């Protein structure tokens, strides 16, 4: 038997309490097909927390041969916008595209669902024909779904609740309603006759009443220990245009009413959400159970949110950062928005590995950002093409190298991937090296270039620093060195051992590019701990822009490729989150995804 590990073999599918339940339901044959959904409200851009939910919902559908719907949970006309709808679709597509080709081990189980794939790629999507139970007309919809497409059905269900004596129109002010619910008192309108409720609700819908004057409430239990059951609101008046339904409606269902019914209409089996909805679950069940619905009811399951350290994950607070101009926009590579993460150069494979790797539990805890960065480095180390680039250049003259001569040296594209091959890099008499790789007064154990010292230039010669040239102000402007011309590969001194190896570019052949050096946006693990304003813990060094010298092959850099600038970090070509180049900046721009090592961990150890 061979001990070799088969890297191509899928890893076991992830296992957690939700998947265990789904597996049990599959074993019991409880549903003909597993059906999940990812239901963002289009009131902002998706962030890394949503990535966890996307991977969980689409992942379960994928592993159990089921289906996952992307649904815009758009019941609030005043906060939602088409721009967000489009970005959500783009972000979800980016995160799950090509999933089937990866080796994450998310193996499909069971029979393939009898679905048409929406775009030929994701067969775990489905465009269902919704059976409304309310009329002859079935709704034919395609992805993404919109809760607002169900407003007609949801309204009809509200009417049914009124008819059953389970909902009433309440005329109290919002403040009174809050106060009555808090103190467990019944509304004076609670026992309105059904006919009066039907009439008032019809007039609410017809636009007769101004905003805030009346609501539809469920009649459940005014003194229930769970405040969500104290005659909660089902519908409110909002004379506002909706991004998807226009001016068609002036009454809008509340989240709790619309969500369970949208799940039911789409045939969702497992409605998975975060823990804050646990207290809403009795209401979710009450609504569905009160309507005498003929088909199987969906059930809600809750898990703990992803809270990564050194990040803010709340759409509202992210909006505040953008609006305060503290970042360049939604797709600023320092933000944990999926658009920012994508622009930073993180691949969907790395983000999925992280989002799945953190696991699914009921325990709320902060996830160390180092885990996220580790997943990114693992991924980029495998795929990144190695290149030579100098971020903060200082000139080096090789005095014993002929003026005007150029030679092409072999450089390895990716030591982790033999098939990536080699390329030529030009060498000449004038070079740039990193300013940091020279020290006039070196600290102990300094193995880079120093006066009289030697260092190896990667893929090239060993050089010795003979002379340090300074300007009138005493700044080092040039290093004059001699090369051991027998020390390159194939030469008589090729094997000569030298402690330090540094990177370089040929001055005549390198080209200038803008390089944006991104770092963590916040200095504190929990930017808001101890009641702090998160704006006060912004990292002042989260972005440094340099004009770097890059080896000529990078002129052909492509957005799809990932690069490692040797000894410096992982970089990518900048592509704004909407996929369109920055109009005012036609130059090639590179973004640093991450440094090669976790410099923050080192800092923490030191202090």
- Which residues in this chain contact ligand ATP in the complex, by CB under 6 A? 39-41, 49-50, 52-53, 273-274, 305-306, 313-316
Minimum separation from the CB atom of position 389 to ligand ATP (A):
35
Taking the least distance from each CB to ligand ATP, the nearer of 287 and 358 is 358
Helix (H) or strand (E) holding 315: helix 315-323
- Prior bond to 230 cis, omega within 30? no
Contact 60, 36 (CB under 8 A): yes
Torsion of CA 267, 270, 271, 276, to 10 degrees: 160
Q: Are 26 and 34 in contact (CB under 8 A)?
A: yes
Q: Give the E-state strand segments of 222-290 in sequence order.
A: 233-237, 251-253, 270-274
Residue with Cβ nearer ligand ATP (50 or 334): 50
- Which one, of 265, 264, 259, 294, lies nearest residue 280 by Cα? 259
- Nearest-CA neighbor of 174 among 148, 139, 201, 213? 213
* Parallel/antiparallel/unpaired status of strands 454-457 and 501-502: parallel
Least gap, CB of 41 to ligand ATP (angstroms): 4
Tokens, residue 130: 């919704």
Nearer to ligand ATP, 274 or 595 (CB): 274
Q: How far is the CB of 477 from ligand ATP (least distance, A)?
A: 50
Of 71 and 509, CB closest to ligand ATP: 71
571/556 Cα distance (integer angstroms): 14
Give the residue with the Cβ less far from ligand ATP, 357 or 442.
357
Please give the residue whose beta carbon sits closest to ligand ATP in the complex.
Answer: 49
Cβ distance to ligand ATP smaller for residue 242 or 592: 242
CB of 599: closest distance to ligand ATP in angstroms? Answer: 26
Of the pair 205, 281, the CB lying nearest ligand ATP is at 281
Least Å from the CB of residue 422 to ligand ATP: 44
Q: How far is the CB of 288 from ligand ATP (least distance, A)?
A: 18
Comparison of 308 and 393: residue with beta carbon closer to ligand ATP: 308
**Cβ of residue 178: shortest distance to ligand ATP, in angstroms?**
21
C-beta separation of 287 from 270 below 8 A: no
Name the residue nearer to ligand ATP (CB basis): 269 or 428: 269
Question: From the CB of 271, what's the least distance to ligand ATP, in Å?
Answer: 9
Residue of 532, 597, 543, 534 lying closest to 570 (CA atoms): 597
Per DSSP, 540 falls in state: T
Q: Quick one: 39 or 576, whose CB is closer to ligand ATP? A: 39
Of the pair 40, 113, the CB lying nearest ligand ATP is at 40
**Minimum separation from the CB atom of position 393 to ligand ATP (A):** 42
Give bridge partners of residue 430 from the DSSP assignment: 397
Taking the complex as a whole, how short is the minimal distance between the CB of residue 49 and ligand ATP, in angstroms? 2
Sign of the alpha-carbon torsion through 58, 59, 60, 61: positive
User: Could you identify the residue written with the tokens 């159990």?
Assistant: 64
CB 121 within 8 A of CB 97: yes
Cis peptide before 144 (omega within 30 of 0): yes
At closest approach, how far in Å is the CB of 355 from ligand ATP?
9
Extract the tokens encoding 278: 């646990």
Given the complex with ligand ATP, which of 78 and 493 has the nearer CB atom? 78
Structure tokens at 372: 């996220």
Burial-class residue 466 by CB neighbours within 10 Å (0-12, 13-18, 19+): middle
Cβ–Cβ under 8 Å, residues 555 and 511:
yes
CB atoms within 10 A of CB 325: 8
Q: How far is the CB of 300 from ligand ATP (least distance, A)?
A: 10
SS3 content of the chain, % helix, strand, coil (to 5): 30, 25, 45
The owner of tokens 């009454």 is 251
The DSSP symbol for 230 reads: S
88 and 50 Cβ atoms separated by less than 8 Å: no
Q: Which is nearer to ligand ATP, 217 or 315 (CB)?
A: 315
CB of 89 to ligand ATP, least distance (A): 13
Which residue lies nearer to ligand ATP by CB, 204 or 375?
375
Residues 6+ apart with CB under 8 A from 202: none
Specify the 3-state DSSP secondary structure of 417: coil
Q: Smallest distance, Å, CB 348 to ligand ATP?
A: 17
């Amino acid at each position: 038997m061979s001990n070799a590990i088969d890297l191509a073999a899928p890893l076991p599918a992830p296992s957690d309490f939700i998947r265990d339940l789904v597996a049990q339901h599959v074993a019991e044959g409880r549903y003909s097909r597993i059906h999940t959904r990812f239901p963002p409200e289009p009131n902002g851009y998706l962030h890394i927390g949503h990535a966890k939910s996307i991977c969980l919902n689409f992942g379960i559908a994928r592993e159990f041969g089921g289906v996952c719907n992307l649904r815009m949970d758009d019941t609030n006309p005043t906060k939602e916008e088409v721009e967000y709808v489009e970005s959500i679709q783009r972000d979800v597509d980016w995160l799950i595209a090509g999933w089937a080709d990866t080796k994450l081990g998310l193996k499909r189980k069971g029979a393939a669902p009898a679905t048409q794939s929406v775009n030929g790629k994701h067969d775990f999507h489905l465009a269902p024909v919704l059976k409304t139970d309310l009329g002859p007309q079935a709704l034919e919809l395609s992805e993404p779904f919109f809760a607002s497409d169900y407003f007609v059905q949801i309204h009809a269900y509200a009417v049914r609740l009124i008819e059953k004596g389970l909902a009433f129109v309440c005329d109290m002010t919002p403040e009174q309603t809050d106060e009555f619910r808090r103190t467990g008192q019944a509304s004076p309108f609670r026992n309105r006759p059904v006919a009066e409720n039907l009439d008032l609700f019809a007039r609410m819908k017809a636009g007769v009443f101004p905003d805030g004057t009346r609501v539809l409430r469920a009649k459940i239990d005014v003194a229930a220990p769970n405040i969500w059951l104290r005659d909660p609101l089902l519908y409110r008046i909002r004379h506002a245009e909706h991004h998807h339904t226009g001016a068609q409606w002036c009454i809008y269902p509340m989240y709790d009413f619309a969500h369970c019914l949208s799940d039911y209409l789409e045939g969702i089996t497992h409605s998975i959400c975060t823990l804050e909805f646990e207290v809403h679950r009795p209401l979710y069940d009450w609504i569905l159970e009160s309507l005498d619905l003929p088909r199987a009811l969906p059930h809600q399951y809750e898990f703990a949110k992803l809270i990564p350290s050194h990040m803010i994950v709340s759409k509202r607070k992210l909006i505040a950062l953008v609006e305060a101009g503290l970042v360049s926009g939604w797709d600023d590579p320092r933000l944990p928005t999926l658009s920012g993460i994508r622009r930073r150069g993180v691949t969907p494979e790395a983000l999925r590995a992280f989002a799945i790797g953190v696991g699914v539990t009921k325990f709320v805890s902060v996830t160390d950002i180092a885990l996220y960065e580790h997943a990114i480095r693992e991924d980029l180390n495998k795929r990144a093409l190695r290149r030579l680039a100098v971020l903060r250049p200082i000139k080096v003259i090789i005095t014993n190298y002929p003026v005007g001569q150029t030679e092409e040296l072999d450089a390895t594209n990716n030591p982790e991937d033999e098939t990536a091959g080699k390329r030529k890099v030009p060498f000449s008499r004038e070079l740039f090296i990193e300013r940091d790789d020279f020290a006039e007064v070196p600290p102990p154990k300094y193995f880079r270039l120093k006066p009289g010292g030697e260092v190896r230039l990667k893929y090239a010669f060993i050089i010795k620093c003979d002379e340090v040239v300074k300007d009138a102000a005493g700044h080092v402007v040039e290093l004059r060195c001699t090369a051991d011309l027998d020390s390159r590969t194939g030469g008589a001194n090729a094997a000569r051992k030298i402690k330090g190896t540094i990177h370089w570019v040929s001055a005549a052949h390198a080209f200038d590019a803008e390089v944006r050096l991104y770092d963590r946006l916040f200095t504190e693990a929990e930017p808001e701990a101890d009641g702090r304003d998160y704006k006060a813990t912004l990292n002042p060094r989260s972005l440094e822009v340099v004009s770097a010298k890059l080896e000529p092959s990078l002129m052909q850099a492509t957005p799809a490729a990932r690069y490692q600038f040797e000894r410096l970090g992982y970089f990518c070509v900048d592509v704004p989150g909407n996929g369109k180049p920055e109009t005012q900046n036609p130059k090639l721009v590179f973004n640093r995804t991450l440094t090669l090592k976790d410099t923050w961990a080192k800092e923490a150890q030191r202090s």
